[in-house]
Structure 1
Amino acid sequence: MPTITLSVKDENFAGKVLQEVLIGFHSETVTIRDIIEARVLQEVEAYNQKQPQYFNGLVQPADAEKTVNGYQLRNKVVIDPEKQVYVALDAFQKNGFFVLVDTLQCSSLNDKVRLHADTRISFIKLTPLVGG
């Protein structure tokens, strides 16, 4: 059972919330790597269980087309969560997106964050991220 559950938001540069998901963490102290992994694993698991028409996640799956409603896979397939995590971590290191915790931009996957009930986590995407 998660120790703390937080709302994680995708935002644009103007601060407009584009998407919001709840993610549970098992520790109050996590790294940015932990936050990215938890987010990607949760969204891939949710997609793989239901396989809706569109995938709305941090990383665009391979063989998917970006649409206004999300990423549409050409064929309904199970998305590889490990590949999605790898692509997301790589994209973070290449500045494909930023992670803000409260109002601070995190610059390293190893940055440690102490989570509280009112911690705000935001992802600011800069480029389309293509993964598995």
Structure 2
Amino acid sequence: MKTVTIKDESLTGQLISEIEVALENERITVKELITARVYAEVEAYNQKLPEYFNGLVQPNDAEKTLNGYKLKQKRTIDPEKQVYIAWDAFQKNGYFVLVDDEQAESLEQEVLISDSTSISFVKLTPLVGG
């Protein structure tokens, strides 16, 4: 088991948040990296059920707010559904994944995780009216 810190950053490189994620192998695909990240954040949310979910992608039946995603009713989130939403968002350029400052190109791309590996997720903000 290897633990890695994943950072969420703005397009300008500003740190938004961090999450620790446990990975089973040093060599993984981007798809496995996204899956591990989503499962970690959903598990953390489901244990406490706070008012807002601050995850990679918006859950179904949730409203986007300044503080995160607010679910219409407090409930646990299905991590498997979130993973599929996250994979789809990656393929539609909803966010970038940077591993050691190199942009991941596909879900099947393999990356090698070491103690010095830097992983960042950069969410893209859609333009209003465009």
TM-score by length of 2: 0.93
- Structure 1 runs not aligned, ≥5 long: none
Mapping for residues 95-110 of structure 1, pairs under 5 Å = 95-110=93-108
Q: Which moved more, 1:66-75 or 1:19-28?
A: 66-75
- 1:53 match: 51
C-alpha deviation, 1:90, in angstroms = 0.7
State which drifts further: 67-76 or 81-90.
67-76
Match of 2:33 in 1: 35
RMSD: 1.1
Pairwise mapping of residues 66-81 of structure 1 onto structure 2 (< 5 A)?
Answer: 66-81=64-79
Tell me how far apart the structure 2 counterparts of residues 88 and 126 of structure 1 sit (CA, whole Å). 13
State the 1:127 CA deviation. 4.1
**CA–CA separation in structure 2 for the residues paired with 1:23 and 1:17:** 17
Q: What residue number does 1:65 align with?
A: 63
Q: TM-score, normalised by structure 1?
A: 0.92
Confirm or deny: 8 A CA contact 2:8 2:17 kept in the other structure. yes
How much identity, in percent, do the aligned residues show? 57
Which runs of 5 or more structure 2 residues have no equivalent in the other structure? Answer: none
Whether contact under 8 Å (2:11, 2:124) holds in the other structure is no
- Residue 66 (structure 1) shift: 1.4
SS at match of 2:75: coil
